[in-house]
Structure 1
């Protein structure tokens, strides 16, 4: 009886399923979305083991999802593994009666899938959202490109801003050096004029005292020698002042870019003398200098680099323990290159710091003590000279910087000693001195007056009148910068009136601090003499006749 009733119920349910399925077919045939109905297949324990396709509409999306789908086939037979992986989801919907939504990707197309319970199975609807997804993906890609472009632009702006700031710092540095150059030249001119007659007069006094000490009895000569030693110390002090002024002017010219042969040893000694106030209370200086060829570069800019390296080396060493620390300077030849090395026994650098020391504005110094531009600028200067700046460092052991520059001369020119010539009395010359500083004229007359006829005038106009009336001067020393008439103006006037006089002229300068003066001295036809000068140089210039100049036999 129960079996008969079960069969009757199954018949009613089958009729109901058939009716629903027919209604679904009529509805879904006009639906643009894909639709498939699957019936759950259970085992004897009512566990779902598979699904059977009982309906699929024939829209375009279903052809993409499952081409050639055959109603009556099972899920495990009819669909690819990607679809078969959704078996668990299908079972979940059947058992829980809760729909599940997801997105399914097939090659070149996207579907939005909705799985809903239907009788003892499921309905799966597929909505083709390829166009929507592509639009969204394109929108996201466009946003990513825009963001990437914005980030690249921001990075470019930051980089260019950094480069601009570095360039501005270089300009500021060049401006400071230019101002320093103008100041050093102007102050140097004012110092060199009085320094000229100080050193000259000291030289004359020492010469005369030396001769006098030979004529006096021993007690008086001994007292005279003490006076001579005092004057000699004064002369050395004056010489030191002259060296300092010269070095300041050399350093201030580091903004100039012209190149030429550079004596590496001289550049290193110059930089060391400027850095010694920073070094002497921190470290001993050890020199290991080989004789090396000249390099092609700019002496003042190379001096700027070496000065920066020396000051950095000093600042890496603590104060007050100079006996236990050293800064070692060495020069050597490696192949076709000259290597200048500055090595210190300071605190050294970690690998992280070493990797960044040439970055503009990177510094480990306290705020206000460093701009972080010294090493980047130094490297740029050396690269402009065709060289490179190397560095090695070990934390706690010290650092070594090597300036590597190409050799200018492949072979060293041997130094030939000048032939020994028997000293003869110099020929007597007529010398004219033109300087608006009376003490300089007096000093020069003392230096030259024993062997030559010396005339001193104190203005350019007075000299012009004298030269017009007297063409017989063998040598003329003329100050470059005078109040009433400059040496340049006198030169121009003589070029018009008495051009034959010009080869006899030597223009004295304590520092050319105007563009016109620098251009004038750069003229190859102009002979110049820097103040303060050595008396021996002054005498040699008088005794050596200029090309086409006069001599005693020509008067």
Structure 2
């Protein structure tokens, strides 16, 4: 009866003696090995097992003979040489107290194993895509809790995945952005796909702008979000808009400056005529001198505005750093006076000229001075002071711009030159000023850094190499200027 049951089993059954040769087998075993049933008895087990698996199978059988039941996976060889993967369960064969060999039950799992391997490769492929994606990918359950989180999401958020999995997403969003995000989340759960833009808090507190594309792998159960950090893109757009505004302002300044130049030239000319009159009373002469000086000052400011507003090709010429600083301060003179900021010029008058692009340096100095103004505006002090200092240090010219504002947090000193990084309120800056300044200084083979002043405030330091002009040949001598006489002159203004 037992033999009939074994013969009818769907799983292959092989009885092996202590000499590791087949004693008997059922029809399922004959079909599995692709051999006639009568040929199996007396066949060595090694002839039925793949060469690479023979040692492994021998060890398992040895353990079974010692009384330990064995369950394992191996490969067998059919009559045609094809290999099949089987699950094996082996027990010792004991009859009337005597150990005769082992009984092994084999189940063909080749197709199942192939399906598992295919699934594993597919999962590995998609896991690799998931982890190597440049965009953040996250999934959420129906309650809005993180369930999966890729590497890009860790980078964008600053959190490790174990810190967020199981957590609700809402605390990461500003209060004014939460209703919009929840509305889109409900749409996603209902099966809709969509895209929206919002902002969120990184772990370090930095606010970033993100674009979220959502879909629903399982209706009412799971939401998949692909998240892209568009902070820099948004800032670039704002910078482009700002550049367009500045271009328009430049054209406006150019037109206004030309309109102002004509009356200013007339004022200067008539002041000179008055000063040339010897019979002019002293008190009136003093007034005329003031008119002439102020007209000349106004003319210089207009010229500085024109120079700053125009586009210039990069061109290095012998440049006095002190003069560029004076021109820049003249541009900001009114704002500095209105804000009650005392400007102290501490120049090294013996500092030589260096080959530099004066227009680019003026942009750097204007950025630093404007930043200092805005920093001091936020500081609570009765008297604010801006100190501009130049010194020659060996083969370098050292420029310092120091303010009495609140200073720079030490943890931000290394980040303030990063593009788009700003500590100003939203809409008050693009975060590009210091980054552009860094690029200009490096183009001049110099260095720029920030530090906190000894008492209070911040200090920006620039070091530029002193580069002597290259000789370009002989120049024609310029005739000496004619000495000033008492004769009147006519000034023609176009």
Query: Within the alignment, does 1:144 sit opposite 2:127 as a pair?
Result: yes
More displaced stretch, 341-350 vs 323-332 = 323-332
**2:408 matched to 1:332?**
no
Mapping for residues 537-548 of structure 1, pairs under 5 Å:
none
Structure 2 residue runs without a partner (length 5+): 16-22, 34-43, 76-82, 95-101, 138-151, 153-210, 212-226, 471-477
- Distance in 2 between residues matched to 1:70 and 1:320, nearest whole Å: 81
Question: 8 Å contact 2:319–2:358 — kept in the other structure?
Answer: yes
The answer to whether 1:286 aligns with 2:352 is: no
How many Å separate the matches in 2 of 1:18 and 1:131?
A: 28
Is the Cα contact below 8 Å between 1:259 and 1:296 reproduced in 2? yes
Give 1:110 deviation, angstroms.
12
Q: 1:197 aligns with which of 266, 282, 287?
A: 266
Q: Deviations over 1:217-254 (max 9, x none)?
A: xxxxxxx3332333333333323321221221122135
Residue aligning to 2:202: none
Whole-Å Cα distance in 2 between the matches of residues 242 and 114 of structure 1? 99
Structure that is richer in strand per residue: 2
Q: Over aligned residues, Cα RMSD in angstroms? A: 5.0
Distance 1:240 1:132, change over 3 A: same
Q: How many angstroms apart in 2 are the aligned matches of 1:379 and 1:344? A: 19
Distance 1:294 1:282, change over 3 A: same
In structure 1, distance between residues paired with 2:60 and 2:362: 93
Residue aligned with 1:74, SS: helix
* Aligned-partner Cα distance in 1 for 2:396–2:279: 54
Contact conserved, 1:282 with 1:321, CA < 8 A, in 2? no
**Between Structure 1 and Structure 2, how many residues are aligned?**
361
Provide Cα deviations, 1:433-476, integer angstroms capped at 9, x if missing partner: xxxxxxxxxxxxx9416xxxxxxxxxxxxxxxxxxxxxxxxxxx
1:409 aligns with 2:474: no
Cα 1:371–1:263, aligned 2, differ >3 Å: closer, same or farther? same
Post-superposition Cα deviations, 1:203-226, rounded to whole Å, max 9, x if no partner, equal: 221331xx216xxxxxxxxxx333
Q: 2:291 matched to which residue of 1?
A: 234
Deviating more after overlay: 319-328 vs 260-269: 319-328
SS of residue matched to 2:310: helix
Cα gap change, 1:134 to 1:277, in 2 (>3 Å): farther
Residue 275 of structure 2 is matched in structure 1 by 206
State which of 234, 245, 248 in structure 2 corresponds to 1:179: 248
Deviation at 1:116, TM superposition (A): 8.9
Equivalent residue number for residue 305 of structure 1: 364
Please, which of 60, 66, 71 is the counterpart of residue 49 of structure 2? Answer: 60
- C-alpha displacement of 1:303: 0.9
User: Where do 1:459-478 residues align within 5 Å?
Assistant: none
Task: Point out which structure has higher relative CO (alpha carbons under 8 A, 6+ apart).
Answer: 1
Provide the rounded CA distance (Å) in 2 between the counterparts of 1:160 and 1:172. Answer: 20
Instruction: Tell me the residue number matched to 2:58.
Output: 69
| Per-residue CA distance 1:111-166 (angstroms, 9 max, x = gap) | 774759999998564745664454334323322343355427998x9999777666
C-alpha distance in structure 1 between counterparts of 2:396 and 2:31, whole Å: 85
CA distance in 2, matches of 1:271, 1:320: 23
Counterpart check, 1:355 vs 2:344? no
Q: Which residue of 2 aligns with 1:270?
A: 327
Q: TM-score, normalised by structure 1?
A: 0.52
Q: 1:21 to 1:369 in 2, by over 3 A?
A: closer
CA spacing shift, 1:192–1:276, aligned 2, 3 Å: closer
1:135 to 2:118 alignment: yes
- 2:317 aligns to what? 260
C-alpha distance in 2 between matches for 1:69 and 1:395? 80
Which string of whole-angstrom CA distances, capped at 9 and with x for unpartnered residues, describes residues 266-306 of structure 1?
11112222234444435433333223232333212211211
The answer for the alignment partner of 1:30 in structure 2 is 30
Structure 1 residues 340 and 395, CA gap change in structure 2 (3 angstroms)? closer
Q: Conserved in 1, the CA contact under 8 Å of 2:317 and 2:357? A: yes
Residue 194 of structure 1: how far off its partner (Å) = 1.5
Structure exhibiting the larger radius of gyration computed from Cα positions: 1
Matched residue of 1:448: which SS?
coil
Aligned residue runs from structure 1 range 98-109, under 5 A: none
Change (3 A) 1:399 1:478: same
Q: Which residue of 1 aligns with 2:146?
A: none
Give the structure 1 partner of residue 177 of structure 2.
none
